Amino acid sequence: MKIHKLIIVLIVVFIGLASQTAQAMSSEAEAKFKIIMDMSLDQLGQTSSEVLGEMHPNTDWASYNFPDYVYDDKATEIAYKVAVKNRSLLGTVNVSDEEIVIPCYCTCDSFGHDNLLYCFYKNGVLKDGFDEHGAQCAVCIRQALLAFLWSDLGATHKEIMVGMKEKFAPLIEKYHQHEH
């Protein structure tokens, strides 16, 4: 009877470890993850543009009626396109729990942004229009493009958050200490 229970416990532990391992990125993806982390904003914009083009080759981008400020540069344009095609990656309306959404690491929480999605959508919803803040903030643009490229590698939300915290540690320490 004791051996039977021990075997069941070992099987449960093995299955648990196997499922955690299956969710982890491959060593190749981890290496790419770090390369992406160190890209310049221009590189992030160009790489994200290529990936987005492969994912959504027939998208009629004009149908989204982006404001002119979205086209200030490639990285900004692609960050807004990521926001319309990958809303749930960036955030959810009225949610600030980083277990679910990506917080923004600039100081936009001081004017009501619950998560990164709000930097691109007024009130966090597209029907209210685009928010210009995302176009004016390199932190928001960088976070959106990093999340997009890391997600494309197969990174989980938890892995994306670890990367964000590493990349933006100085900003988190300076502006968001009280939250962590």
Q: Which residues of 106-123 are buried (b: 16+ CB within 10 A; e: fewer)?
A: bebbeeebbbbbbbbbeb
Domain membership of residue 19 (yes or no) is no
User: Is it the case that residue 13 has pLDDT exceeding 50?
Assistant: no
Mean pLDDT of 56-82: 97
Domain membership of residue 45 (yes or no) is yes
Which domain range does residue 71 map to? Answer: 26-179
Query: Measured between alpha carbons, how far is residue 29 from residues 35, 72, 152 in Å?
Result: 10, 31, 10
Mean pLDDT of 132-144: 95
Domain membership of residue 13 (yes or no) is no
Tell me how many domains the chain contains. 1
User: Is it the case that residue 1 has pLDDT exceeding 70?
Assistant: no
Domain membership of residue 10 (yes or no) is no
pTM of the model: 0.83
